[in-house]
Structure 1
Amino acid sequence: MTGGQLASNVLIIAIVFFSAAFFVAAEFALVQTRKSALESALEEGKGNKRKLTIALKMVQNLNEYLSTTQVGVTLAGIILGWIGEATIETMIVDVLQITPLGTTAMHAVGAVLGVLFLTYLEVVITEIVPKNLSIEMPMRMMMLVVTPLHYFHILFYPFVQLLNVSAAGIIRLFGLTPATESNDVLTQAEILRLSRNAVTGGKLDKNDLIYMQRAFDFNDKIAKDIMVDRTSLEVVDITDSVKTVVNNYLRQGFSRFPVVANNDKDRVLGYVYIYDLIRQAQVDDSILVSKLLRTIITVPEVTPIQGLLQQMIQKQTPIVVVLDEYGGTSGIVTDKDIYEELFGVVKDEIDNVSSEYIIKNKDGGYKISGKTTLYDFERFFKIKNKSFDASESVTIAGYLLENYKVKRNDIITIDQLDLKVTEFNRNYIDWLEVRHHVENKSESPDEK
C-alpha cells in the first residue's frame, strides 16, 4: 500500500467513523427525545420550527427512522471492515519493521493488533461517546442530527422500506405482530416508575409524584371506599327544632346534618346546613328543621369517585347518601372526603389538633409543643380554664412563662393535668410532657 493510498484510506476511515457516530447519536436521540417535549417546544415557539416539525414527524414514525439509522450504521461498519482493518494492519506492520520479527509474524501480529485497535476505536468513538451524549442531552442532539438524517432518509427511502417490509414479513412468519408506534404506550405502573426515577434524579418534585399516585388511586376507588359508615353517621330527626340541632352542632362541630324520619338512618329526607340554622335561630329557634331542609342526592356504593364528583358538581351539593345493594343507607360522602383522596388529610376546625403540636406517647402521656395555643390545648384535653381567658398569652408556653418561674423538669398542675417542662431553651419552653394528675404526687404551685 503506497503512501498516497494509506493517506486516502485514513481520511476515509475518519469520515466513516464520524458517520457511524452520527447515526448512533441519531438513533439514541430518536429514542430518548419525547414527543411531548417536541410538542411543547413548538407550542412555546422555542427553537427552529422547521427542525422541530421534522423531529416530531421522526418520533411519530420511530420504526421507520430507526431503520434508517440502522442502514447508516451497517454501511459504516461494512466500510470500516473493508478498508479499516487492512489500513490499520499496514500501519502496524510498518512500525514493526524495526523489530526482528519475520514478515509472516509481523503480518499476523499486525492483523490481531489491527482488529483489536479498530474495535476499540469503533466501540468508544462510534458507540459509547455518541450514545452517552444523546442520552444526556437528547433534544440538543436531536436538533443537530435532524436535518442530515432527514435527507439521508429521503435518499435511502426505497431501501429502508424494503428492509422494513422484509423484517415485518419474517416476524409474521413466527406468528408475531410487528411493533408500531401505537405499541409504545405506558401503563400506570410504568409511569409511576419513571416518575420515581425523575424524583430521584431531581427532575420532578416529590409532591408531584404523590399527587400523581393519588390521582391514579382516585380513579380506581368507588363511593364505598371513602364514605363515612352509617355506624359513625350523626343524623337529626325531621321533628327536631332548630335549637336542638344548633346544640348538636355546638357539641359535635359538624356543619351539616342528614335529616331522617323517625330516627331511621335508612330514611334520609335531606340535610340541614348550620349557616341556615344559626340565621334562623336569631329569629325563631323553635321552628322545625323541616322548614330548612335541603335536597340530598343518593348514589350506589359502587359509584366511581370520578362519577360521584361530577354528580356533586352538577347538582351543586356537598353531601350525598351512599346506598347499599338493598337500598338502605350505607353511609355518606362529603366534598371533603373526595378532596382528601387527592390532597391527603386536611384538618379543619372540628378535627383534633395537628399531630405536629400534640403527639401521643406509647405510655399514655402526650408530648406538647410550647407553640400550642391555649384554645387548642383546652379543646384537645376537653378542659375549660378561666385563667386562660384572663391571660394575655396566646400559647401554652407563654402562659406558663407569664404565671410561673419555670425551669427544666418542673411539673405544673392545671385542671387535673400535670405539665412537665422537658425542653427549655433560651428562656422559652419548646416541649412539655402532659399526663393526667395523680393525687399522691407532690403538688405543683397553685395557679394564680
Structure 2
Amino acid sequence: MDDIDSLILIGVLIALTAFFVASEFAIVRVRRSRIDQLILEGNRRAVLAKRIITDLDEYLSASQLGITLTSIGLGVLGEPAFERMLHPVFRGMGLPDSAEHVIAFAAAYGLITFLHVVVGELAPKTVAIQKAEKLTLWIAGPLRLFYVFMFPFIWVLNGSARILTGLAGLKPVSEHEGSHSEEELRILLSESLKNGEINPSEYTFVNKIFEFDNRIAREIMIPRKEIAAVSTDMSVPEMLDMMLKDKYTRWPVTDGDKDSVIGMINTKHLFSDLLFMTEDEKAEVSIASYVRPVIEVIETIPIHDLLIKMQRERIHLAILSDEYGGTSGLVTTEDILEEIVGDIRDEFDEDEQPLIQKLSERHYVLDGKVRIDQVNHLLGAGIEEEVDTIGGLVLKRNIDICSGESIQIGGYTVLVLEMDGRFIKRLEVKEEQGRAGGQETINRPLPVPEAVMLHNATLSEK
C-alpha cells in the first residue's frame, strides 16, 4: 500500500470515528419531545430517530463499537504509515539510525493521536452537542444500518456487559429513569426563564400548577365570616337590595344561619324573570323556586378533586364544612382558577384590594387571609405554625390585639390595619432595620428569579 492510499484510509477512519462520536453525543443530547413534535409534523427521518433514542442502550453500544473499531484501525495503520513517511525527513538530518527510528515513531504517534482526538472526537462532540437535533436526523439512517449489520456482535457485547454489571449488583437502566422529577423541572424552568426561552408569566403559571395538587380547599376559601348569603325569610326587596349592593352572581341561601345552607341562587335567573314581572307578581315571588343545588364538601378536600367535582356536576359554588359539621367557608371556580392564573377581576371588583401589596423592598400590606407559606416565600422566612394564615398567626400570638397595634415576628413588625371583630382583615409587614433574620427567619427558600418577583409585584399593584 503506497502513501497516498494510506492517507486516504486514515482520512476515512478519522471520518468514521467522527461519525460515531457525533452519533453517541447527539442521540443522548437530543430532546425526545422535539422528535415527537417532528413526527407529528410528518418528518419521516424523525420516525427512525425516535426508534433509535427509544432503544438508546443498543445504539450507544453500536456507537461505542464503531469508535473502538476505527480507533484500533487508526492505531494499526496510521502510526506505521506516518512513521514511514517521516523517516526520509529525519534521515536528511543526519541522525543515527536508532535516534531516527525513535523520533519518527514519537512524531508519527503524536500526529495520529492529535488527528484522532481533535478531528475525530473533540470537534464532533462539540458539534453534536450544539446541533443535536439536526445531527440525530442525519445520522439515524447510517447508524441504523451499522446496527443491523453488527447486531450479532452488539448482542454479545451487551449481554456480556449485563452479566458483568449484574454480578456487581447493578440493574439495567430503564427508560423511565430518564424522566425528570418536579424539582428538576423547576430548575429547568428557571434556566429557561434566565435564558429568555419563556417569559415570567409562563414561569409563574407552571410553578403554580406544580403547587396546585398540594392545596386544600380550606387554604383558598372565603371564610364563614365573609360569606355574603341570603336567607329564606328575607323579602324580595331586601334580597334585591343586598344583591345590587354586592353584585355577586351566585348567592348561598341559608335557612336560619350559615351552618344551614340549603342551596344557592343565580342572580341572572332571578333578574331575568323579575325584569318582566309587575309589582304584584314580584311580591308573590318565592325565593325557594330559584334555589339550586350547591356542592357540600369537607374543608380538607384537595382543590384538584373539588375542581373535578364542580366540572362533573356543573355547579360553580361549594360550601365547605369543618370536622364538626358547621360551615367553615365557601369556594368558587374562580377561587380555584386564581391559584393558577392569579387574581381575576371584573368591572365590579374596583373596590377589591389585592391580597398582597408591595410598598417597598420587604415592606408589604397583606390581607389577613394570606397563607403562611406565601408569607415565607415572599419574605424568605421560615415560619412554622399550625395556623394557615398570617391573620391567624397574629391572633395566636395576641388574641386581644386591636387595630393599630403591632407584634414582632422574627425580624419583622406586623401592624394590624383593619379588623372586623376578631377577624383581622388587613395588616402591614415591614422589616426592622438590622433585625432581619430573627428567630423565625431561617434558611432562604429556593431563589425565585428577580423577573418573576417583579412580575408578581406588578400584578399585585394593578
Give the deviation of 1:304 after TM superposition.
2.6
Q: Give the Cα separation in 2 of the matches to 1:141 and 1:176.
A: 32
Amino acid at match of 1:342: I
Q: 1:278 aligns with which of 271, 288, 295?
A: 271
> In structure 1, what is the equivalent of residue 40 of structure 2?
43
Give the deviation of 1:120 after TM superposition.
2.6
Mean CA deviation greater in 327-336 or 62-71: 327-336
SS in 2 for 1:266: coil
Change (3 A) 1:232 1:11: same
Change (3 A) 1:110 1:227: farther
Give the deviation of 1:26 after TM superposition.
1.2
SS in 2 for 1:165: helix
> In structure 1, what is the equivalent of residue 154 of structure 2?
160
Amino acid at match of 2:296: T
Change (3 A) 1:94 1:250: farther
Task: State the Cα deviation string for residues 275-322 of structure 1 (Å, max 9, x = none).
Answer: 234345543555553332121011222323232122112211111112
Q: Give the Cα separation in 2 of the matches to 1:14 and 1:108.
A: 25
What TM-score results when the alignment is normalised by the length of structure 2?
0.69
Give the deviation of 1:204 after TM superposition.
4.1
Matches within 5 A, 1:238-257: 238-257=232-251
Q: Give the Cα separation in 1 of the matches to 2:176 and 2:59.
A: 15
Change (3 A) 1:205 1:122: farther
SS in 1 for 2:260: strand
Q: 1:126 aligns with which of 120, 136, 156?
A: 120
Aligned partners of 1:223 and 1:304 also within 8 Å: yes
> In structure 2, what is the equivalent of residue 385 of structure 1?
none
Aligned partners of 1:63 and 1:180 also within 8 Å: no
> In structure 2, what is the equivalent of residue 96 of structure 1?
90
Q: Give the Cα separation in 2 of the matches to 1:96 and 1:351.
A: 91
Q: 1:150 aligns with which of 139, 144, 148?
A: 144
Give the deviation of 1:216 after TM superposition.
2.1
Give the deviation of 1:179 after TM superposition.
0.8
> In structure 2, what is the equivalent of residue 351 of structure 1?
349
Give the deviation of 1:205 after TM superposition.
4.7
Give the deviation of 1:262 after TM superposition.
1.7
Matches within 5 A, 1:37-436: 37-46=34-43, 49=44, 51-99=45-93, 101-263=95-257, 265-279=258-272, 281-282=274-275, 283=277, 284=279, 286=283, 287=285, 289-352=287-350
Identity value in percent: 30
Give the deviation of 1:85 after TM superposition.
2.7
Aligned partners of 1:243 and 1:281 also within 8 Å: no
Aligned partners of 1:89 and 1:113 also within 8 Å: yes
Change (3 A) 1:226 1:101: farther
| RMSD across aligned positions (CA) | 2.8
Give the deviation of 1:87 after TM superposition.
3.0
Change (3 A) 1:176 1:153: same
Amino acid at match of 1:258: P
SS in 1 for 2:324: coil
Aligned partners of 1:272 and 1:292 also within 8 Å: yes
Q: Does 1:20 align with 2:4?
A: no
Amino acid at match of 1:320: A
Aligned partners of 1:224 and 1:302 also within 8 Å: yes
Task: State the Cα deviation string for residues 121-178 of structure 1 (Å, max 9, x = none).
Answer: 2222122222222222223212221222111111110111111111111111122211
SS in 2 for 1:269: strand
Q: Give the Cα separation in 2 of the matches to 1:109 and 1:207.
A: 65
Number of aligned residue pairs: give it. Answer: 355
For structure 2, the 5+ residue unaligned runs are: 364-462
Task: State the Cα deviation string for residues 331-350 of structure 1 (Å, max 9, x = none).
Answer: 11101112112222122233
Give the deviation of 1:239 after TM superposition.
1.0
Q: Give the Cα separation in 2 of the matches to 1:132 and 1:266.
A: 68
Aligned partners of 1:246 and 1:278 also within 8 Å: no
SS in 2 for 1:220: coil
Q: Give the Cα separation in 2 of the matches to 1:169 and 1:360.
A: 62
What TM-score results when the alignment is normalised by the length of structure 1?
0.71
Task: State the Cα deviation string for residues 65-98 of structure 1 (Å, max 9, x = none).
Answer: 1110110011111112222233334444443344
